[in-house]
A and B are shown apart, each in its own frame.
Chain A
């Protein structure tokens, strides 16, 4: 028995070591330098000394942690919106429309991915501006007589963020819904459930693993985005990524920038962990 165990362990390690090595080289190694530098500050004589100051600065200076809190709040909001908007779409594509229609519509959903975020951001500028297409249309129809202020507001920023991240919610949700047997829905309605109850008790719980993995991706994408808040977001849309960018490129304070980068990673992982706990989901079930 013990022999067997040992044999198993050896092959197990033989298999796992290359994988770990690979992950280490690709993912960990490039960040070690940054990680180390996040614990350094420049002394007056230009020498690097060990310090927690970069991390402490985040908590001490209101502007930093407040920006993070704001960014995270928006990211959570956008994630929820992405779910609310895309869940019916995913349901329609998998359960209502024909396979042929569905694949065409999925191609449409892929467009933002193809053209890239920068182009879609400019596209929204053209649509939402004071003299943009939407205002022009609404005014020529006579619904409004003064342009609505949509561009450079939280509204346009959220639209931009939603647009680039929606697909990442749709796809995992669709893949779970695809395996949902229609007869589950019929069985529920046979047992007297209303449409709403079927959604709440059967469809959503069934799709939960997809929803959770979609939500994690969307949340991470949004909290780590730079373009949409920066270009569409208007004059008060200071995003945490912009502060990281500024630390690296404007102040040349890489140490501070690195610390912010790791704080972003840790805090957003922490938020996901809390969200998983609160919703009673387990990470190992997600995405399977």
Chain B
């Protein structure tokens, strides 16, 4: 499959301020592409440039190989689901969804068929004559998506569409959206600041930070092999250590903990809690072992963690370790000293 969207070295300046800097990526046809970044990093600005509401200061945006320069929003083969949803309050559900089709000068029966099909697809049949102000958050969400999808866009842009929902509903909609995208096969570009949304739904994720794309990768790749310190810190939980010295064999942390990893000039080390192995069986060649003392057990079901201090660290640097909930570790308690191992590849230094 080809690339439906190419964003070529796009930058956007607001006066002196750089909102988007030299962003370059492609999106495959039918893909679910997420842009993940914290608030204010330039996600919406980038999306608005693709939709045509803002003009790139530099670079070019191509859809199916055609430059979008000078093409107004209403003429672009993309549709957008706004951060605020932007449902038309003066219209009911049916009218909202039909609005775009009416602009295409379709016949009434045609419109009716398409709208009804779309409404049943998002599970809203029977709601046609309801006013959009009378709907629940999740229902409004679906109307907004239906309104855009019924236009059969080449690309659907979604700007944090789940942002306004409560956590439960968000979890639910996450899965639903992903399934919907699979089913209809439209290319989605999805903006979020919630890494779990991005990881669950996407084929590809771009991590954005202060206007710059730090890394573009599959969710697994992103999680396993963060390319920059920012990505390592931003995606998933990590233990973070400042490296003060490094030589040909070792990294030495602030607290004097020596780790056998060769990376001269490294400044930071990240270790994921779940990458740590309790009581590793001896002999693994690429396994680094060290002992820690348990400070406290943070019980949280499947997400339970041990808060420990590294014994070798003179300042007692903290290390969080995931604790599998099985009988093996049931009698661990505070104050116990325990041996911990980690695969060398899981020591991420930058």
Interface residues of A (CB under 8 A from B): 181, 183-184, 186-194, 197, 201-202, 205-206, 208
Q: Can you list 17 A-B pairs, Cβ within 8 angstroms, ordered by A? A: A183-B82, A183-B83, A183-B86, A184-B89, A186-B53, A186-B73, A187-B82, A188-B88, A191-B103, A191-B147, A191-B148, A192-B74, A192-B100, A202-B90, A205-B90, A206-B90, A208-B90
Question: Would you call A206 and B151 a contact (CB within 8 A)?
Answer: no
Closest A residue to B51 using CB positions = A190
Q: Which residues of B contact A188 (CB under 8 A)?
A: 88, 99
Alpha-carbon distance A205/B95, docked complex (angstroms): 14
Q: In chain B, residues 66-96, which have Cβ atoms closer than 8 Å to a Cβ of chain A? A: 72-74, 79-80, 82-84, 86, 88-90
The smallest C-beta distance from B150 to any residue of chain A, in angstroms, reads 9
Alpha-carbon distance A188/B74, docked complex (angstroms): 8
Question: Would you call B74 and A183 a contact (CB within 8 A)?
Answer: no
> A183-B84, A186-B53, A197-B103 in contact; A191/B90 too (CB < 8 A)?
no
Q: Which residues of B contact A193 (CB under 8 A)?
A: 74, 99-100, 103
The smallest C-beta distance from B172 to any residue of chain A, in angstroms, reads 25
B168 within 8 A of A: no
Alpha-carbon distance A208/B90, docked complex (angstroms): 10
Question: Would you call A190 and B74 a contact (CB within 8 A)?
Answer: yes
Alpha-carbon distance A187/B51, docked complex (angstroms): 10
Q: Which residues of A contact B147 (CB under 8 A)?
A: 187, 191
Interface residues of B (CB under 8 A from A): 51, 53, 72-74, 79-80, 82-84, 86, 88-90, 99-100, 103-104, 147-148, 151
Question: Would you call B86 and A181 a contact (CB within 8 A)?
Answer: yes
The 4 A-B pairs with the shortest beta carbon distances in the complex, nearest first, are A191-B100, A192-B103, A187-B86, A183-B86
The smallest C-beta distance from B104 to any residue of chain A, in angstroms, reads 6
Q: Which residues of A contact B99 (CB under 8 A)?
A: 188, 191, 193, 201
Question: Would you call A189 and B84 a contact (CB within 8 A)?
Answer: no
The smallest C-beta distance from B52 to any residue of chain A, in angstroms, reads 8
Of B53, B86, B104, B151, which contacts A184 at CB under 8 A? B86
> A190-B79, A191-B99 in contact; A202/B73 too (CB < 8 A)?
no
Question: Would you call B88 and A192 a contact (CB within 8 A)?
Answer: no
Q: Which residues of A contact B103 (CB under 8 A)?
A: 191-194, 197
Alpha-carbon distance A169/B51, docked complex (angstroms): 35
The smallest C-beta distance from A285 to any residue of chain B, in angstroms, reads 11
The smallest C-beta distance from A210 to any residue of chain B, in angstroms, reads 13
The smallest C-beta distance from A281 to any residue of chain B, in angstroms, reads 12
Question: Would you call A189 and B72 a contact (CB within 8 A)?
Answer: yes
Question: Would you call B86 and A191 a contact (CB within 8 A)?
Answer: no
Closest A residue to B159 using CB positions = A183
Q: Which residues of A contact B84 (CB under 8 A)?
A: 181, 183
The smallest C-beta distance from B54 to any residue of chain A, in angstroms, reads 10
Alpha-carbon distance A201/B98, docked complex (angstroms): 13
Closest A residue to B104 using CB positions = A192
Question: Would you call B86 and A189 a contact (CB within 8 A)?
Answer: no
Q: Which residues of A contact B74 (CB under 8 A)?
A: 189-194
Alpha-carbon distance A191/B51, docked complex (angstroms): 11
Question: Would you call B86 and A206 a contact (CB within 8 A)?
Answer: no
Alpha-carbon distance A193/B86, docked complex (angstroms): 15
Q: Which residues of A contact B90 (CB under 8 A)?
A: 202, 205-206, 208
Closest A residue to B75 using CB positions = A192
The smallest C-beta distance from B58 to any residue of chain A, in angstroms, reads 23
12 further interface pairs, Cβ-Cβ under 8 Å (given A190-B148, A191-B103, A206-B89):
A186-B53, A186-B80, A187-B80, A187-B147, A189-B74, A190-B51, A190-B73, A191-B79, A191-B100, A191-B147, A191-B148, A197-B103
Closest A residue to B89 using CB positions = A206
Alpha-carbon distance A190/B148, docked complex (angstroms): 9
> A191-B147, A197-B103 in contact; A186/B88 too (CB < 8 A)?
no
Select the residue from B53, B86, B100, B104 with max chain A CB neighbours within 10 A.
B86
Q: Which residues of B contact A197 (CB under 8 A)?
A: 103
Question: Would you call B86 and A186 a contact (CB within 8 A)?
Answer: yes
Closest B residue to A195 using CB positions = B74
The smallest C-beta distance from B64 to any residue of chain A, in angstroms, reads 18
Alpha-carbon distance A19/B283, docked complex (angstroms): 89
Alpha-carbon distance A175/B125, docked complex (angstroms): 35
Select the residue from B53, B73, B83 with max chain A CB neighbours within 10 A.
B73
Alpha-carbon distance A18/B100, docked complex (angstroms): 52
Q: Which residues of A contact B148 (CB under 8 A)?
A: 190-191
Select the residue from A181, A191, A192 with max chain B CB neighbours within 10 A.
A191
Q: Which residues of B contact A184 (CB under 8 A)?
A: 86, 88-89
Alpha-carbon distance A189/B99, docked complex (angstroms): 11
The smallest C-beta distance from A159 to any residue of chain B, in angstroms, reads 34
Select the residue from A190, A194, A202, A208 with max chain B CB neighbours within 10 A.
A190
Question: Would you call B151 and A191 a contact (CB within 8 A)?
Answer: yes
Q: Which residues of B contact A194 (CB under 8 A)?
A: 74, 103
Alpha-carbon distance A188/B151, docked complex (angstroms): 12
Q: Which residues of B contact A181 (CB under 8 A)?
A: 84, 86
Alpha-carbon distance A17/B79, docked complex (angstroms): 55
The smallest C-beta distance from A2 to any residue of chain B, in angstroms, reads 31
Alpha-carbon distance A205/B88, docked complex (angstroms): 10
Q: Which residues of A contact B79 (CB under 8 A)?
A: 190-191
The smallest C-beta distance from B82 to any residue of chain A, in angstroms, reads 5
Q: Which residues of A contact B82 (CB under 8 A)?
A: 183, 186-187
Q: Which residues of A contact B83 (CB under 8 A)?
A: 183
Alpha-carbon distance A189/B148, docked complex (angstroms): 12
Alpha-carbon distance A183/B83, docked complex (angstroms): 9
> A181-B86, A206-B90 in contact; A190/B72 too (CB < 8 A)?
no
Alpha-carbon distance A124/B265, docked complex (angstroms): 81
Alpha-carbon distance A191/B53, docked complex (angstroms): 13
The smallest C-beta distance from A192 to any residue of chain B, in angstroms, reads 4
